[in-house]
Amino acid sequence: MLKQSQVQRYAHESGLKDLMIAEREVILTFVLQLLAEKGVLAKLAFKGGTCIRKMFLGAPGRFSTDLDFTSLTQEQPDDLILELLQAFEQPYHDIQFEIPDKGWYTTSGGLSWAVNPVYRHEWNTGGASQFEFQVSHRETPTLEAETVPQREQSYFKHLPFVPVEIRCLSLAEILAEKIRASYQRNKARDIYDLGIFASTPFDRVLVRRLVVLKLWQARDAFDPEALLAKFEDARSFDWDDLAQLVRKNQDVSRDRIVAECVNGYAFLRELSPDERTLAQDRYQRERTLWQRLSDECRAMISQKLP
C-alpha cells in the first residue's frame, strides 16, 4: 500500500475533503490489479462510476467507492465468489482483503449480486473499511467490450506495478446504463455523471437505442418524458450522496446539472416507431424485435470501423 503521506498528498492535489475517499481510490487500483493478475477480470466487463473515472475521465471525474461489472460468462455467483476468496487469501502489497462470512447477496431484484470485501493495511488497521464489488448478470453486453488503459493519476508513479489495461463496456453502453440507472433510482451521482457527457460528442442514436434495449431487459417500460421531468425536478435525487465524491472546488450546482441533462438528453424523446414499441413492452412479448434492434446496434458500430 502507498504510504499515508503519499495518499495525503494525492488527496490535497485532488481537492478532497476526506482522506479516506483518496485512500479508497488507491485501494481500488490495487484490487483491479490483483484481480487482473488472478484472472478474475477476464470474465467481467468493468462499468459504472469508478470505471468512468479510472478509464475515461481521469482526474476531472468524480470519485467513486465501489466496483461494478457485467458478467461475460454464465458462471454462477458461488463460483466467482470462491475465486475472489482465493484471490484475497494472501496479502497483496501489504493489503489484506477479506470477504465477511455472510458471503454474497443479491441486488436489483435478483438481477445482480454483490459482496462487501473489507481491508486493512499498515495505516488503516481497523478492518472496518470496505467497498462494494457488484456483478450484474441481467444480460450480456449488447456491444463488444473494449480493453482500455487506465487514465494516468498522480499517485501512479508511487505504485509497485504498472496499472493494467481493463476490459470495459463501451462508453456508449456505459452511458445507456447510467440513463437506465437515473430512470430507476435516485442517486445524484448518476445525473452528475450524465451532466459531464451531456454536451460531448457521442452517438446519440446508438445510446437512445441501447437505453430502450436495457430497460426492456429489465422488464421496465421507458417513458422519455418521465425521465426528463425527473431531471428537471431534481428533488428526488440524493444530493448529499454526491457531496463527498467531488473536489472542494468542483461545481455541483443543481441548476447547472439539471439544465445540462434536460437539454443534453432531450434526444431520448426521438424514439423510432420500433423503439417506441419496445419501450412499451414491459412483459417482453417483442423478443424478436428486441433481437433485431440489438443486431442493428452492433451493425452501427461495425459500419464505423475502418
Instruction: Note the pLDDT tens digit of each residue in 159-170.
Output: 999 999 999 999
For residue 251, name the pLDDT band (cuts at 50, 70, 90): low
**Tell me: the pLDDT tens digits for 4-27?**
999 999 999 988 888 999 999 999
Cβ atoms within 10 Å of 144's Cβ, excluding its own: 13
Instruction: State the pairing for strand pair 118-121/124-130.
Output: antiparallel
Helix, strand or coil, per DSSP, at residue 150: coil
Letter string b/e over residues 205-236, b meaning 16 or more CB atoms within 10 A of that residue's CB: ebbbbbbbbbbbbbeeebbbeebbebbeebee
pLDDT of residue 252: 73
Find, among 62, 50, 66, the residue nearest to 16 by Cα: 62
Amino acid letter, 122? E
> Who contacts 59 (Cβ-Cβ below 8 Å, separation ≥6)?
14, 151, 153, 154
Q: Return the half-sphere exposure (C-beta side, CA atoms, 13 A cut-off) of residue 3.
A: 5
The C-alpha atoms of residue 131 and residue 65 are separated, in whole angstroms, by: 6
pLDDT of residue 212: 97
Phi and psi at residue 176, to the nearest 5°: -60, -40
Residue whose C-alpha cell reads 496479502 in the numeric block:
91
> Who contacts 118 (Cβ-Cβ below 8 Å, separation ≥6)?
97, 98, 99, 100, 127, 128, 129, 130
The stretch 136-163 carries a mean pLDDT of 93
pLDDT of residue 238: 81
Task: Specify the higher pLDDT residue, 14 or 209.
Answer: 209
C-alpha cell at 273: 416507431
**Tell me: the pLDDT tens digits for 252-303?**
788 888 899 999 999 999 999 999 999 999 999 999 999 999 999 999 887 7
DSSP H or E segment with residue 133:
strand 132-136
- Does the pLDDT value for residue 97 go beyond 70? yes
- pTM, whole model, 2 decimals? 0.91
The C-alpha atoms of residue 154 and residue 162 are separated, in whole angstroms, by: 13
The C-alpha atoms of residue 304 and residue 306 are separated, in whole angstroms, by: 6
Distance of CA 26 to CAs 137, 206, 247, Å? 27, 34, 16
Kindly report the average pLDDT of the chain as a whole number: 91
The C-alpha atoms of residue 91 and residue 80 are separated, in whole angstroms, by: 19
